Structure 1
Amino acid sequence: MLEVTRFLLPDAPQRVAPFSHAVRAGDFLFVTGQMPTLPGGGMRLVEGGIEPQTRQVIENLKTVLSGSGGAWKRAVFARVYLTEFVRDYPAMNAIWEASFPPGGLPARTCVGVTALAVGALVEIDLVVAL
């Protein structure tokens, strides 16, 4: 039977809904979509537009990875959700690409949505190989 471990991390961003921060299933770690909320700030969004929000989401993902045994460079798939797709897609892509070493991008899907929790402009989830 496949071993499954769920992570609720005290040092990770505050959860905006009832979920685990990450779930390990076999050799993969599934990281719940992270919001651009500030560490220790409850559900307070980072100030600014898509650039600072994307950077904060990436930092929040790295925090969850650190607490659950994953590594950023081992990301194999991501889903990105944007509330202002046409406007924010180029800027989010630039920050996303710069956050990985050359040739190290995971597979990805990016979709436009009508709204995200806490009024965020971006949310990203990950699948990471362990």
Structure 2
Amino acid sequence: MIRRIESENAPKPAGCYSQATRVGNFIFTAGQLPVDPTTGKALKGASPAEQTRRILKNIAALLEENGSSLEKVAKATVLIRDVTLWDEVNKAYSEFFTGPVPPARTVASGIDIHNGLDVEIDVIAEVGDS
């Protein structure tokens, strides 16, 4: 069974999609943009590092409110506008994944991200005890 997953501490969907879904013991997030969940405003003009941190804070809230955490992320997909931003994005990303088994990850660059933003991230995370 597929269930919708939501959090008040993550941006509300701007279209016909869920913040995340749960299938069995896994949560699949939608691609998350750097949006302040309180104001609903995108962090356009913020540095790629700041955008990455905001996204991962939003993802952490979504996971933690639904029985998971960043420590249980098995797979991440990172989209960046330009490959020259990679070092900055990667440094900020690594602040959130400090455990002994970082998630598997796919990175794609040269992406035209909505609202002229620099970064978008989605994850797949396990729910419950490992």
Shorter-chain TM range is 0.7 to 0.9
- Which sections of structure 1, spanning at least 5 residues, go unmatched? none
Residue matched to 2:8: 10
- Which sections of structure 2, spanning at least 5 residues, go unmatched? none
| Structure 1 residue 47: Cα displacement | 4.6
71-80 or 8-17: bigger deviation: 8-17
C-alpha distance in 2 between matches for 1:66 and 1:47: 28
Residue matched to 1:82: 80
| Structure 1 residue 27: Cα displacement | 1.5
C-alpha distance in 2 between matches for 1:44 and 1:126: 20
Q: Give the match's secondary structure for 2:125.
A: strand
Whether 2:79 is the aligned partner of 1:115: answer no
Whether 2:95 is the aligned partner of 1:98: answer yes
C-alpha distance in 1 between matches for 2:74 and 2:111: 26
Aligned-residue sequence identity (percent) comes to: 27
Code of the aligned partner of 2:12: Q
TM-score (norm. length: structure 1): 0.87
TM-score (norm. length: structure 2): 0.87
Code of the aligned partner of 1:14: K
Residue matched to 1:124: 121
Aligned length: 127
C-alpha distance in 2 between matches for 1:10 and 1:48: 23
Code of the aligned partner of 2:120: E
The alignment yields a C-alpha RMSD, in angstroms, of 1.6
C-alpha distance in 2 between matches for 1:55 and 1:69: 21
2:25 to 5, 24, 27: 27
C-alpha distance in 1 between matches for 2:35 and 2:9: 13
Please tell me whether the aligned partners of residues 37 and 45 of structure 1 are also in contact (alpha carbons under 8 angstroms): yes
